[in-house]
Amino acid sequence: MQTSIKSKKGFLRKFIGDKAFYKMVLAIAVPIMVQNGITNFVSLLDNIMIGRIGTEPMSGVAIVNQLIFVYNLCLFGGVSGAGIFTAQYFGQKNNEGIRQTVRFKLWIVTIITLFTTILFLTAGTTLIELYLQGEGTAESIAATLRYGQQYLLIMLAGLPPFMMVQVYSSTLRECGQTILPMKAGVVAVFVNLILNYILIYGKFGLPALGVQGAALATIISRYAEASIVLIHTHKHKEQNPFTEGLYSTLKVPSALARKIFIKGTPLLLNETLWAAGMAMLSQCYSVRGLNVIAAQNISGTINNVFNIVFIALGDSVAIIVGQLLGAGKMSEARDTDNKMIAFSVFSCTCVAALMFLLSPLFPKLYNTEDSVRQLATYFIMVSAVFMPQNAFLHASYFTLRSGGKTIITFLFDSVFIWCVSVTIAFVLSRFTTLPVVVVFILVQAGDIIKCVIGFVLVKKGVWMQNIVE
């Protein structure tokens, strides 16, 4: 009996923190959660507004957003490699080191944005057409393509401010400052929401621009967000000492650049290939018809609203554990990581239960066919069931990344999605008659393999190292 009590107490000490622990975690996670939550909620409203126009406009926008998602994740990967060093430099109170990582970020996002712009201008139509190979009338396919082209062309103007926000907001978060990015994000989403209403439907004497209005609203809100973040950061140099002399040169010491390349290239490739893998998964599902594209769009938008919990907690793992590793506090880093993973899985189990119960209600907000609504409901239910699994995977991924184990995260994430997830989806969607929902379930279930791998790697502590010594 005594052994059982001791074992229980040991378990509680290992996976459950005290009040101070949760206060620390939530101080980092909640602002990220609020920012992402408001952003995704407004994206939901944006999506509903477009969905009220009809299935074809909604599908065209959904396809383009899937393509832009690859760019977004590519940017995230580009700044994340340097971000590992930023968090650890902050742990050392090395402002010059932080300054150099910011310069590296500026170079990498500029290159990515230029490449993406050229790609979309030259091959945008071809990329959209990849998703229009399934069932649907010639008229609906042509209309979806036209809406997608209109939306993409305007959205290109929003890439520069988005890239600058990624550089500055990621740096501020890695330095423990999450409030400013949150406030800027809140302003941006409300600007986007108001302009959506005005420009999509043509209010206050303006013409109804439909999907073009949605794109214009998005890029205006991005410029507003970038202005707030950049001006405030540089205006408060005492709080952000790394801004002092930031643009006096754009040179990055070759030794540091080499270290970031070694650690960061796998991250960049990982995020890019993972996002491309997600786009390919959507393409696999799309061969079952335009209805599937519309249903996936609805469910994906709803998922994003609920996924903010495990995404914010995963980001917090990278920040908190990265700072502890940089400060040389290895045992504290391991203990903190165990508790943060457990907290993430528990929190997301509760969120998933709520999402499952509410799943039939969300598709009713869209002006689309009943078949699309029903399919979307099934997709949302499946996503809810697998959310605790995804919470564990996300936290494990950021644990490995916080210690610079970027090769492992590359294999863990990108190689897996292409070798396992995409393979399952490709084969089952094209060579079987299984319902698309069953295909979706089997793809999600394949991630159980990754859970086992993540558990073993985290438990072994392969991530426990200081990379800036």
Residue range 458-463: mean pLDDT, rounded: 78
Q: How far apart are CA 355 and CA 134, in angstroms?
A: 29
The reported pLDDT for the residue numbered 308 is 87
Q: Which of 43-52, 206-215, 450-459, 460-469 is predicted least confidently? A: 460-469
The reported pLDDT for the residue numbered 468 is 58
What pLDDT digit, counting tens, does each position of 194-216 carry? 998 999 988 888 888 988 999 99
Whether the pLDDT of residue 52 is over 90: the answer is no
Terminal Cα distance for the chain, rounded: 47
Q: Tokens 């084969």 appear where?
A: 427
Query: What φ, ψ does residue 461 adopt, rounded to 5°?
Result: 75, 30
The reported pLDDT for the residue numbered 291 is 85
Q: Which of 2-11, 314-323, 331-340 is predicted least confidently? A: 2-11
Q: How far apart are CA 171 and CA 66, in angstroms?
A: 26
Whether the pLDDT of residue 462 is over 80: the answer is no
The reported pLDDT for the residue numbered 359 is 92
Query: What is the three-state SS of 352-392?
Result: HHHHHHHCCCHHHHCCCCHHHHHHHHHHHHHHHHCHHHHHH
Q: Buried (b) or exposed (e) across 157-189, using 16+ Cβ within 10 A?
A: bbbbbbbbbbbbbbbbbbbebbebbbbbbbbbb
DSSP, residue by residue, 91-105: HTT-HHHHHHHHHHH
State both tokens at 202. Answer: 């043509």
Q: Is residue 110 within a helix (H) or strand (E), and if so which, with residue range?
A: helix 95-129
Which of residues 20 and 171 earns the better pLDDT score? 171
- Give the three-state DSSP class for 12: helix
Q: How far apart are CA 458 and CA 338, in angstroms?
A: 9
Q: How far apart are CA 254 and CA 105, in angstroms?
A: 14
Average pLDDT, the chain: 85
Domain ranges of the chain: 9-460
Residue range 448-465: mean pLDDT, rounded: 82
What pLDDT digit, counting tens, does each position of 363-379 carry? 888 877 888 899 999 99
Q: How far is CA 468 from CA 320, 322, 332, in A?
A: 16, 11, 18
Whether the pLDDT of residue 427 is over 60: the answer is yes
What pLDDT digit, counting tens, does each position of 184-195 carry? 988 988 898 899
Sorting pLDDT into bands at 50, 70 and 90, what band is 351? very high
Q: How far apart are CA 440 and CA 442, in angstroms?
A: 6
Q: Taking the CA of residue 239 as centre, how many other CA atoms within 13 Å lie in the half-sphere pointing to its CB?
A: 13
- Sign of torsion over alpha carbons 430, 431, 437, 441: negative
**Maximal C-alpha separation, the chain:** 76
DSSP, residue by residue, 38-74: HHHHHHHHHHHHHHTT-HHHHHHHHHHHHHHHHHHHH
Look up residue 341 and give its amino acid: I
Contact 46, 214 (CB under 8 A): yes
Contact 404, 84 (CB under 8 A): yes
Residue % of the chain over a pLDDT of 90: 29
Whether the pLDDT of residue 405 is over 80: the answer is no
Contact 151, 1 (CB under 8 A): no
Residue among 174, 210, 23 nearest 101 (CA): 174
Phi-psi region of 205 (alpha: psi -120 to 50; beta: other; left: phi over 0): left
The reported pLDDT for the residue numbered 182 is 82
Query: What φ, ψ does residue 204 adopt, rounded to 5°?
Result: 55, 40
Residue range 442-452: mean pLDDT, rounded: 91
Contact 133, 286 (CB under 8 A): yes
What pLDDT digit, counting tens, does each position of 106-160 carry? 999 999 999 999 999 999 999 998 888 766 677 888 888 999 999 999 999 999 9
Whether the pLDDT of residue 393 is over 80: the answer is yes
Sorting pLDDT into bands at 50, 70 and 90, what band is 161? very high
Which of residues 368 and 451 earns the better pLDDT score? 451
What pLDDT digit, counting tens, does each position of 79-113 carry? 888 887 887 788 777 878 888 888 999 999 999 99
Whether the pLDDT of residue 46 is over 60: the answer is yes
Look up residue 421 and give its amino acid: S
Sorting pLDDT into bands at 50, 70 and 90, what band is 62? confident
Query: What φ, ψ does residue 468 adopt, rounded to 5°?
Result: -110, 10
**Residues whose CB is less than 8 angstroms from the CB of residue 346 and which lie 6 or more positions away in sequence, other chains included:** none
Q: State which of 52-66, 146-160, 305-319 shows the largest mean pLDDT.
A: 146-160
Q: Which of 110-119, 165-174, 187-196, 241-250 is predicted least confidently? A: 241-250
Q: How far apart are CA 431 and CA 418, in angstroms?
A: 18
Which of residues 26 and 36 earns the better pLDDT score? 26
